[in-house]
Structure formats: structure tokens, C-alpha cells
Amino acid sequence: MLYLIELEPVETRYTAQWQKYLPQQLENAGIPTTVISGPPDTPQDTTPGAFLNFSGTNYWKSEQLKQIATLFANGTVKDGDYFLYTDAWNPTVIQLKYMADLLNISIKIGGMWHAGSYDPHDFLGRVQDKTVFGYTECAMYSTYDHNFFATQFHCDLFSNTYPLLPKGRMHKVGWPMEYLKTELAPHIAQQRLTEVRANRVLFPHRLAPEKQLDIFELLSNTVPDCEYTVCQSTPLTKAEYHDLLCSSKVVFSANTQETLGISMYEGVLCGCVPMVPDRLSYSEMFPVWCKYPSEWTETYGNAVEHRDKLANDLISKISFHSQLSKRLTNYTKLVQHLDQFFSGEKLYEIIKSGK
């Protein structure tokens, strides 16, 4: 049995989609799954700029710990069971290991890493004294039999911070998001690539320092005759957000933190041209025609210095979109390359292997 320790489902984040689709995807892969959720009254409003609610996420995880402890107390957990944490930054994994070892039950534990203090641009990475978080991350990493990362960039970021940790516990796998194509199907399909769209440029990210909204605003004041939309400036449902992607031409990023890039993949699936810096996970995920030099947006000052180059690159991306009907080969190759980062196939194989 696999026990799925899920993240709290926030409607505007992929965590709500994971709650809906991930258990079924695991079952489809031949992995019997029991979901361990949190309380329905968990605070849903995310901390400003953050992915989750900093207090609410601990409220959620504390309830999950009660459920895990009850499973052990009732004798439900058996040798060979697997616990998959969809967020590896969950201290309850240490208490899980405590119970399993002291009760002499042989289980496997996997954790999916998203961010942490090892990333200087993360919220934890900006804490002045993050010593305790570093020790905690090392302890949690050592507790997991399988530490899952979505990109090589993220693997390197973690291992370069903690070089003494055993790399045999680290696995680069795609995130289990194969549902995206199915969910987006009513909104897209390739024939929509040739539709006439407004010259709309989207900023699809959270309103957080590491996303550098000010650079997007600088660009919006540089290239006229375009519509610039900050997606999180107004409340949007997932469906409304996807419709917006399907009627736009470019999705823009100047991120200083990115370990995957879900919004860019969604943009590509919806027929947008991505405009991303050649850094972070973007470097391994996107071809040359999608990227601009990293130094152009490493800081706001850099963006001011390279303002004209950014403007020209945006204009070229808009022009590229206008010719997508003639460049479907480029687009198709991009989708095929990105698919490997948004498939759970490798994740499922490792879980089923029992090693």
C-alpha cells in the first residue's frame, strides 16, 4: 500500500489538481493508494507572495501526523508499505521514521522537493539565520529513501549546498502532471495555434520578490501596442487562467528562483511562446529560441541596462507566434521535450521497484 501524504489543495495552485488527479494516476500505474489528507478548515489564503499559508501548512501537516500515528497504533501499516510525501519539506517524516523503526516495520519513504533554505531566493533562504533549517533539511533528506527532484538544476542546487549527503538517495524524475494535457484539452488543441490572438503578454507568476514583477512592468512601459496582464492581480479560477493563456501570445519570466516552471509549460501547451532567462531550470528545459541571456534580468538594474535588447526580444517572440503555423515543427519538438519534466512515469517506476 502507498500512503499519499498530500499537500493542502489551494485552488489557484497545482496542489488542488494533485488532490484530484494524483491518486488516480498512481492507481492507474498499478500502485494501490490511500490518501492522508488534512482538515477541511485549514486556512486557504496564501501568505502574500508565498506558495502556501505559512501557519496553515503546519495546521494541515499536524493533522496528517495524527492520522499516520493512528495507522501505526492500529497495526494497519505493514512491511513493504510506501509513504510518499508530495512536499518533502515536512518534518513529520522524522516522526514517521521514529515509529517505523521502533516498531520494527520495514517501510519505504519518498519525498518530493520543491524548495527550501538551500535556495537563496526562497522564503527560507532569505531568513537571516537559517542554520536550523539547514540541519532540518539534511535530517529529512537522510530520512527519505527516495528524494525526488524534477530537474537536474534542482538536484545540483541541493547537492551543492549539502555535498556530504549521499547522492544515491537523490532521483531526478518528472512531476506527475500528465493530467495537464487532459485538463487543458477543452481550452486548446493545436488548431488554436493559428487563431488570431491579441498581442497579449502574460506574467503568470506569484507576486513575490524572486519573480521580479518590476522587470515585467519595465518591459510593459517599453514596448507599445501590447497588452500586459499580471495574472495574479485579479482573482482567476484555473479555467479562467487557462482561457487567458489560450488567447495570449507570450508568457514572460525573469525569475531568480525556478526549480521547474509549471506556468511556462502550461503556456506552451496553450500555444504561447515562452520568453525565459537562460538560467535556473529554464536552461535545461527550453531551446535557444525561447531564452534570452541571463544577465539581462539578473537584477532590475540589469534590466534597465538591457532594456532595448529585452524589448527587441519580446517583439521577436510576438513575431514568432504570428508565424507558428509555419513553425509547428519547432513547437512540437518543444512540447515533446518538456513532456519528460511533467510525467510521473519515472516516479512510479521507483516506487514500484521497492528498492
Write down the pTM of the prediction.
0.91
Q: Are residues 262 and 316 in the same domain?
A: yes
Q: Are residues 132 and 209 in the same domain?
A: no
Could you tell me if 21 and 157 lie in one domain?
Answer: yes
Q: What is the pLDDT confidence band of residue 57, given thresholds at 50, 70 and 90?
A: confident
Containing structural domain, residue 328:
179-341
Q: DSSP assignment, residue 13?
A: S
Domains held by the chain: number = 2
Element at 200 (helix H, strand E): strand 200-203
Residues 147, 188 share a domain = no
Q: Is residue 35 within 8 Å of 4, Cβ to Cβ?
A: yes
CA 195 to CA 243: how far, in whole Å?
Answer: 13
Residues 83, 50, single domain; the answer is yes
Of these ranges, 34-38, 45-49, 191-195, 315-319, the one predicted with the greatest mean pLDDT is 34-38
Domain check: are 59 and 144 in the same one?
yes
236 and 148, same structural domain? no
Same domain? 142 vs 207: no
CATH code for position 107: 3.40.50.2000
> pLDDT for 276-334, tens place per residue?
999 999 999 999 999 999 999 999 999 999 999 999 999 999 887 767 655 667 788 89
200 and 282 assigned to the same domain: yes
Same domain, yes or no: 198 and 309: yes
Same domain, yes or no: 84 and 54: yes
Distance CA 289, CA 313 (A): 10
Query: What ranges make up the beta strands (E) of the chain?
Result: 2-5, 33-36, 82-85, 108-112, 146-149, 170-172, 200-203, 227-230, 250-252, 273-277, 291-292
Q: Is the same domain home to 132 and 186?
A: no
